[in-house]
Amino acid sequence: MLLVCDPVCCGHQHVPVNSGLLRIIKTAFPRRPVSFYAEKAHLDLVREQLNPEHGNEITWKEMEVPYRYTPFFRRFVPDLRLAAYIFNEASKRQCSDIIFTTCLPSTIWAARILLDSRYRYLRVKIVLHGELGGIDGWRSRSPYLRLQDIGTALTVGNSKRIKYIVLEEPIRDLAIQKLPGLKEKIGFIDHPLPQYTDELTPTSFNPPFHFGFLGLATKQKGFFTFLEIAKYILSKYPEQACFHLIGRIHPDYRHMDSPELAFLATRAGNEPLERPEFINRLRTLHYVCLFFQGSHYDYSASGVLLDCVAWEKPVVATPTPTIQQLQKKYGDIGYIGGIEDVVRTVERIVRNKDARRYHSQINAMRRVKQARSLPTQAARFRNLLNS
């Protein structure tokens, strides 16, 4: 048996990632029973994104999950209780393998304390998705603050029963550069693809050209750069392009008075889009804009990028190690350049109307998708779990 648990996410958070991981797990271990434990709303949304062939083979278990942004010391005891509950569930079912699909520093501390003191026969794999950015840059010298950071949680102690998984090879390599002690304890799989259809028809490459910003609109993901580009392009090339927000604006920015918002052809509301509507809007795009700023996405795989792969949408993007690796291995997946170049890049797309390159970029995205087939991902995951 395999016991899979998300001890952090609620509602829509990381739903495509968890559904993708469950597809990989069931393909890797078709004869082993799998149970998935998560917060109720999250559980229901993950189940909706699985085909019956996978979803019906999984046992779904609701549980209470602490609020994601609770401070470390207020969260530690609830995380200890949660980990003890999961480990007890595994013990009752004679299950020795547990997979946490997300974590926080307090999750790792709780798991380590219990494994070292009581549950010595369990093996735990922890997926590091979204938290590794904390190992980059300045770290406090205060023991009180340092205890709470992800770097300390990953490196203090040496429990052989905990190993880590990241979602992309370049992220694994960066983590080892920053924390060499992780070398024997960390592996990778490619970020799971979301559920998609193989029957895709490329969007006809004629004006107006449709550019999209996907997911949660934040400064870190380059949303304000996207707005500036929309204003510039539509002022200079009216009716030659459309700009769409396919997602929602971060709560911190919902009340901003930005005149650039008027240049968006599509603006979502304050709540996440339902997945079918998200996909319907994504399919109409020519290019997706990924203007990542700072180092967060050097250490964290982008689910939006994998939506681009699944639906064969070329990108206009700033470079991250993962994007650069995809470009190197599979060819021209889009226009990759510094943040200072993106306005000129979008202008060049609108002005040159290079259909040949556009279709070549779609073919490159298709090669990425083929390399991440479910059997290939399952084989790598099987090796990781048995290591």
Indicate where the chain has its CATH 3.40.50.2000 domain(s).
2-192+373-386, 209-371
Fold of 2-192+373-386: Rossmann fold (3.40.50)
Residue 65: CB partners within 8 Å, gap ≥ 6? 6, 7, 8, 9, 10, 38, 39, 42, 82
Burial class (CB in 10 A: 0-12, 13-18, 19+), 305: buried
Please tell me the distance from the alpha carbon of residue 67 to that of residue 62, in angstroms, as a whole number. 15
The Cβ-side half-sphere exposure at 228, using a 13 Å CA radius, reads 12
CATH dotted code for 209-371: 3.40.50.2000
pLDDT per position in the chain (387 positions), as tens?
A: 999 999 999 998 999 999 999 999 999 999 999 999 999 999 999 999 998 888 899 999 999 999 998 999 999 999 999 999 999 999 999 999 999 999 999 999 999 999 988 888 899 999 998 788 888 777 788 888 888 999 999 988 767 889 999 999 999 999 999 999 999 999 999 999 887 766 677 788 999 999 999 988 888 899 999 999 999 999 999 999 999 999 888 777 766 666 778 888 877 667 778 888 899 999 999 999 999 987 888 988 888 999 999 999 999 999 999 999 999 999 999 999 998 899 999 999 999 999 999 999 999 999 999 999 999 999 999 999 887
d(CA 357, CA 209): 14
